[in-house]
Amino acid sequence: MTGVVFPQQDGQRSSSALGREVVAAALAGVDDVGADAVRRETAWRKDYPRHFRRLVEVGIHDGDAARTVARQGLEALHRRMRWVGPGGEDEPLARACEEPGTPLAGATIEGQGEPERELSLPYRGERLRGDELRRRLEEWVRAGVVEPGVQQAVERVLDHPEWLDLRDQRVVVLGAGAEMGPLRSILRWGGDVVGVDLARPNLWRRLVAVARQGAGRLVIPVPQGVATDETRDDDRLARHAGADLLHDLGAVAHWLESLDGPLVLGNYVYADGATNLRLATAVDALTTWLTGRRDDVALAFLATPTDAFVVPGSAVAQSTSSYDNRTVGRVVRTPLRVASGGRLLRRQYPPGEAVGVSDSIVEQQGPNYLLAKRVHRWRATVAAADGLPVSLNVAPPTRTRSVTKNRALAAAYAGAHWFGIEVFEPATSNTLMAALLVDDLRHGGGAGHEASRRPWTDEARAAVHGGLWRTGYDPRSALGVAALLGLGAARH
């Protein structure tokens, strides 16, 4: 194995050992009992959710504790992860960005369309604009699908359509082909995008076509020295484009450092299994390297809804009301709770709490997935505390390819509406999240505009959680029931 890799332990590179060590190190000195519990955990792949929940709980009332957890977690990750270059030498992670590898150059694709100067949102077969979009936002807030800050942010963008023009900065989309990323929206609005993804010709053919149809400019990596006539033809260009963040990190780092700015470094990468954690580490190494060399870099992230978050008292109150009044739930709640020994359809929060913790962790997604997503949240917290502009918003449950190929999660999403959860289509999600990114960049509403005393308030401000925070039931206690209810629908 080469590139960004897990450390060796007893002759093996174990993601589980790495995960336990990082989580324990994050809690050390803040919650030593919790850190010891992590070290003693013998069923990490099954029981990891309670430890990840604890990482959030320690920062509910103590912002310094939350920031310490984030810093210690990132430091432990960088200290332990390794870099194995082409020569096979096992070296510290920091070496990954220092090796320039095969130099990259940028090929530019100019859009041929007219820029959209009005925010519109694809939703259930329609394109919502103006008052229609405002009514949809109001309905989402009323139903508890989004936090009120989402309505406020999107309405600001509606009131300032000129904000959509992002030509004054370059948005780097790491994971250019990601379904949840902002690439398509920004190009449609006429902005500048730098796209980075693997060398997959079919993927780049699609992205080049999107760029041609759009109104902006897409810059993509190609090996330095590729003949100019090879990049003039879109099909030839697609065959040369791409860079591997796991193995070509130094080349990507040096290329991005050379670009005109200011830059918005957007992290939208994903891979299956343990590779996702390696990839998250690689991007975080790139982030620290680039922000250490440039003073014009903002950071952008999407947080997964299937995680644990601290939520405001208004969410607790709406959840309590929903639990007490939801007709469908009452019909099945009592027999299911009795049959399950109280494990199913539990209240999400104790009534009357000033704040709560919404735990939507899906055990089947595994500790590598969740640690990768925590790395994003930790970096957002640390960067905001250090004064960097940061946009981190909780994305909604969405029917992406990675979800629909997971049978358990696909079935749960198909039955989620029984519990007041709205699952979004990818086009709705990526456009909405791109609009929130615009608001963060233009209005300064993101985490970095003024680091909050408690970082969880930055995460909660404009969360598009789909209703997970405000449903009456603890999401983890309802997941199995939702999956059963949605099993038939998920098969079609």
Tens digit of pLDDT for each residue in 265-306?
999 999 999 999 999 999 999 999 999 999 999 999 999 999
Tens digit of pLDDT for each residue in 146-189?
999 999 999 999 999 999 999 999 999 999 999 999 999 999 99
The answer to whether residue 329 scores a pLDDT higher than 80 is: no
Q: What is the mean pLDDT of residues 252-266?
A: 97
Q: Fill in the amino acid letter for 35.
A: A
Of the candidate ranges 235-244, 320-329, 399-408, the one whose mean pLDDT is the lowest: 320-329
Q: Which residue has the tokens 């792949």?
A: 45
The answer to whether residue 248 scores a pLDDT higher than 70 is: yes
Predicted TM-score (pTM) of the model is: 0.95
Tens digit of pLDDT for each residue in 453-482?
789 999 999 999 999 999 999 999 988 888
What distance in Å separates the CA atoms of residue 324 and residue 337, rounded to the nearest whole number? 15
Domain ranges of the chain: 1-93, 104-310+356-490
The answer to whether residue 403 scores a pLDDT higher than 90 is: no
What distance in Å separates the CA atoms of residue 149 and residue 393, rounded to the nearest whole number? 11
What distance in Å separates the CA atoms of residue 69 and residue 62, rounded to the nearest whole number? 11
What are the b/e assignments for 88-109, b being 16+ CB within 10 Å? eeeeebebbbebebeebebbeb
What distance in Å separates the CA atoms of residue 206 and residue 97, rounded to the nearest whole number? 29
The answer to whether residue 449 scores a pLDDT higher than 50 is: no
CATH-assigned architecture of domain 104-310+356-490: 3-Layer(aba) Sandwich (3.40)
What distance in Å separates the CA atoms of residue 449 and residue 390, rounded to the nearest whole number? 7
Could you give the angle at the alpha carbon of 129 between the alpha carbons of 124 and 132, nearest 5°?
75
* Residue 231: predicted pLDDT: 67
The answer to whether residue 445 scores a pLDDT higher than 90 is: no
Which residues on neighbouring strands pair with residue 83, listed in sequence order? 4, 91
- The three-state secondary structure class of 8 is strand
For helices 274-291 and 15-27, the axis angle rounded to 10 degrees is: 50
Cis upstream peptide for 262 (omega within 30°): yes
- Tokens linked to 86: 């082409």
